[in-house]
């Protein structure tokens, strides 16, 4: 059985990310099929982020359309597979 590649990224949220409400992650031309997202405060507390993950052919985007949003200085860890 062949396993696909995974890409792990960490991003610290900026004020611009908060006002844009969307962050796009380049998948380095890999054909992504999904992603897992974890958001933590600057103090390391898990945030119950419930936005939307959109998987494209070379970009995975996350947005703040849910009830719990990320804030400036939060850290986002995303694993794209």
Per-residue pLDDT tens digits for 28-55: 766 788 999 999 999 999 999 999 999 9
Please tell me the distance from the alpha carbon of residue 68 to that of residue 71, in angstroms, as a whole number.
Answer: 10
In a domain, 2, yes or no: no
How many domains would you assign to the chain?
1
In a domain, 52, yes or no: yes
Residue 66 tokens read as: 């849910």
- Opening angle at CA 35, ends 34 and 38, nearest 5: 160
H-helix or E-strand spanning residue 15: helix 15-20
In a domain, 70, yes or no: yes
User: 47: closest CA among 55, 56, 38?
Assistant: 38
In a domain, 1, yes or no: no
Q: Residue 23 is part of which domain span?
A: 7-80
pLDDT at 75: 98
| This prediction's pTM | 0.89
């Amino acid at each position: 059985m062949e396993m696909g590649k995974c890409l792990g990224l960490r991003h610290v949220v900026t004020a611009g990310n908060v006002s844009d409400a969307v962050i796009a992650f380049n998948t380095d031309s890999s054909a992504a099929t999904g992603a897992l997202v974890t958001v933590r405060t600057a103090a390391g507390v898990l945030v119950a982020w419930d936005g939307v993950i959109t998987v494209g052919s070379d970009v995975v985007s996350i947005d703040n359309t849910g009830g719990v949003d990320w804030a400036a200085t939060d850290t986002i860890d995303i694993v794209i597979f």
